[in-house]
Amino acid sequence: MTDPVAAVRKVFGPGRRLERELAGCELRPQQQAMAEAVAAAFTNKGRLAVEAGTGVGKSLAYLVPAAAWADRERGRVAISTYTRILQDQLVSRDTKLLTRLLPGVPRIEVAYGQENYLCRLRLHTRVTHGLFDSREQARAADALLEWSAATETGILLDAPVNLPPKLGRRVGRDSAACPRQRCPYFGECCWYKARRSWDAAAILVVNHALFFAGSGENGILPEFAAVVFDEAHRLEDAAVRHFGVQLNQGWLIGILDGLSPVSGRGLLQSLRGTGPVETLASETVACRAELAAFFDRLVTETPGPAPSRRGPTRSRRRPAEDRGPWNARRRLNGPVTPTPAVGLERLGTALSETSADLADEELAAELGGAGRWLREAAAGLRRFEEPGEENSVRWLETGPAGTTLNLTPLSVAEPLAGEVYPRLGTVVLTSATLAVADSFSFTAGRLGLQGFRFLRLDSPFDHRANSLLYVPGRMPLPSEPDYVAEAARLVGDIVAASRGRALVLFTSYEMMRRVHGLCDTGGHTALLQGEMPLPRLIEEFRTDVHSVLFATQSFWQGVDVPGQSLSCLIICRLPFEVPDDPR
């Protein structure tokens, strides 16, 4: 293949391959300018940040030079996105077009975090020992078992089963519970098969969280020579999570429930009659009580907004039925002592020791995994006990998933500039929103973008001439009782006018379900997020042109639905972060 600059010249511009390949495609000078800048960055091992407005066609503008460079230089490129939706779009759609534009495109693979891959050992352990909290879990596990015989990839989100969340966490791959070569399913393991395909890829599509956690020395990802961060406006969020500590009460309780649930059957019940199981069970109960008391004490003793019984803040403007992303946050002034670290550490060690003596390898792996997580949680809690950490803020967040203890770095510019970028030859950041008040200086400061070239490209769309903005003049506040009925009526009127073809976005699942339940879409198919796996939902929305999709969370960004299917976007409430978010 030719070099990146020549490849860009062949693809973009009047009469070139892109125009010939896509009949009726409008040339976008901004896309060509971006592709040329990215090609120059690859050629010169440079650093580039590009703000490219909606419709520029960013993906192709970086994929063409990245593919040409990877093929010619035999270097591996990471394309990192924030959302899984964009990851999937890149692999399923954009790379197909790329292959038509550049014959001989090198191998492109997608990588998700380990918990997204089915662990056959964990699934069999659950089914064999009946380790379920409910009948719903048992039914879903049976369906998974059937699917597991046929799946090539083992990617859980692609399974034709609506997985109860707790079960998903317990059958996904868990490094702490994986005996690797000693596992009886090692030869057919979905995770290790995926890892082999990543090693063979020239371009690997990852997400920011996985990129930070998995790259570098001892990381699970292969080595990269270059990276393109798409959706770079969320890079700081992902970096803050990676360099900070988060300990969620629900996650910890979930581990203890897996051992000995309040109802249903846990690991320890399966081991009855073996060694010190009774002691472990009573220590698990004690740990759960200690954790609950610890988090309760933190919430009641730390000044801040009062959490409601349903989790987040009591606020007239934030009704119980629409908590959405707004949780109660409190700053912790100084170290937190005492914590339940000692109890968790003791139980974790006892579990690991017991697992080493177990003859049943399946149960031993699960028990050892739980032990390791508890010891890691104890180590995390100790970070909150220590003084220092001047460059971080300790804080609590109370929401529907329980309370989360956070240790958040005030800035990630230093580790990004000092540890992450220097590992790579070429670094490209792109997003539709990187500049603030026409300047990159804020973003450059937050993300440590020293030595970067900056480029701004406007949207090629004439929004003023081609779009219509409607803001209803009289709507009840979301806190008022008639808001849901009025929102449903209004959405019904709008989709009647747009003949379906609409995406309706919410900031909470509950509000989404209630409006969907009341809304008359006039015979147009009403699709609801959560009713089917995400990739299928998007495909249905694309192919059923007049359908209406009610969605939240993952649909706020990264979704690209070309053509008529997405002609109307209805935003029921803007998803602003609250000013007390320390991130």
Q: Given the rule CB under 6 A, which residues bind ligand SF4?
A: 119-121, 173, 178, 180, 183, 185-186, 189, 191-192
Q: If you ran DSSP here, which 8-state letter would residue 471 be given?
A: -
Q: Say how far apart CA 404 and CA 122 lie, in whole Å.
A: 27
Minimum Å distance from CB 215 to ligand SF4?
A: 20
Cβ contact 454:52 at 8 Å = no
Nearer to ligand SF4, 77 or 163 (CB): 163
Locus of tokens 């511009």: 13
Locus of tokens 């520029």: 56
Q: Say how far apart CA 299 and CA 69 lie, in whole Å.
A: 53
Q: Phi, psi (5° rounding) for residue 46? A: -100, 180
Minimum Å distance from CB 221 to ligand SF4?
A: 17
Nearer to ligand SF4, 17 or 124 (CB): 124
Nearer to ligand SF4, 188 or 480 (CB): 188
Minimum Å distance from CB 119 to ligand SF4?
A: 3
Q: What dihedral angle (degrees, nearest 10) is formed by the CA atoms of 194, 195, 197, 201? A: 130
Nearer to ligand SF4, 183 or 407 (CB): 183
Kindly state the helix (H) or strand (E) to which residue 505 belongs, with its residue range.
strand 502-505
Nearer to ligand SF4, 27 or 220 (CB): 220
Q: Which of 71, 65, 72, 59 is nearest to 37 (CA)?
A: 65
Q: Say how far apart CA 56 and CA 33 lie, in whole Å.
A: 10
Task: Using DSSP bridges, classify how beta strands 402-409 and 392-399 pair: parallel, antiparallel or unpaired.
Answer: antiparallel
Give the CA radius of gyration of the chain. 25
Instruction: Calculate the alpha carbon distances from 171 to 116, 214, 255, 300, 459 in Å.
Output: 9, 21, 13, 35, 44
Amino acid type, 402: G
Nearer to ligand SF4, 47 or 173 (CB): 173
Minimum Å distance from CB 183 to ligand SF4?
A: 3
Locus of tokens 């550049």: 102
Minimum Å distance from CB 369 to ligand SF4?
A: 9
Minimum Å distance from CB 170 to ligand SF4?
A: 12
Nearer to ligand SF4, 50 or 189 (CB): 189
Nearer to ligand SF4, 14 or 187 (CB): 187
Nearer to ligand SF4, 119 or 407 (CB): 119
DSSP string for residues in 231-296: SGGGHHHHHHHHHSEEEEHHHHHHHHHHHS-SSS--HHHHTTTSTTHHHHHHHHHHHHHHHHHHHH
Q: Say how far apart CA 453 and CA 428 lie, in whole Å.
A: 9
Q: Is 55 left (phi over 0), alpha (psi -120 to 50) or beta?
A: left
Minimum Å distance from CB 192 to ligand SF4?
A: 6
Nearer to ligand SF4, 186 or 461 (CB): 186
Q: Which two tokens stand for residue 482?
A: 């008639």
Instruction: Tell me how crowded residue 391 is: count the other CB atoms within 10 A of its CB.
Output: 10
Minimum Å distance from CB 379 to ligand SF4?
A: 23
Nearer to ligand SF4, 191 or 454 (CB): 191
Minimum Å distance from CB 159 to ligand SF4?
A: 15
Minimum Å distance from CB 126 to ligand SF4?
A: 12
Q: Say how far apart CA 177 and CA 160 lie, in whole Å.
A: 25
Task: Using DSSP bridges, classify how beta strands 502-505 and 548-551 pair: parallel, antiparallel or unpaired.
Answer: parallel
Instruction: Tell me how crowded residue 577 is: count the other CB atoms within 10 A of its CB.
Output: 10
Nearer to ligand SF4, 185 or 556 (CB): 185
Minimum Å distance from CB 123 to ligand SF4?
A: 8
Cβ contact 204:109 at 8 Å = yes
Minimum Å distance from CB 172 to ligand SF4?
A: 9
Peptide bond into 338 cis (omega under 30): yes
What's the count of helices (H) and strands (E) in the chain, helices before strands? 23, 15
Minimum Å distance from CB 218 to ligand SF4?
A: 18
Strand order in the sheet with 392-399: 245-248, 402-409, 392-399, 328-332
Minimum Å distance from CB 176 to ligand SF4?
A: 10
Minimum Å distance from CB 246 to ligand SF4?
A: 24
Nearer to ligand SF4, 267 or 344 (CB): 267
Nearer to ligand SF4, 120 or 241 (CB): 120
Nearer to ligand SF4, 179 or 400 (CB): 179
DSSP string for residues in 331-374: EE-S---S-THHHHHHHHHHHHHHHHH-S-HHHHHHHHHHHHHH
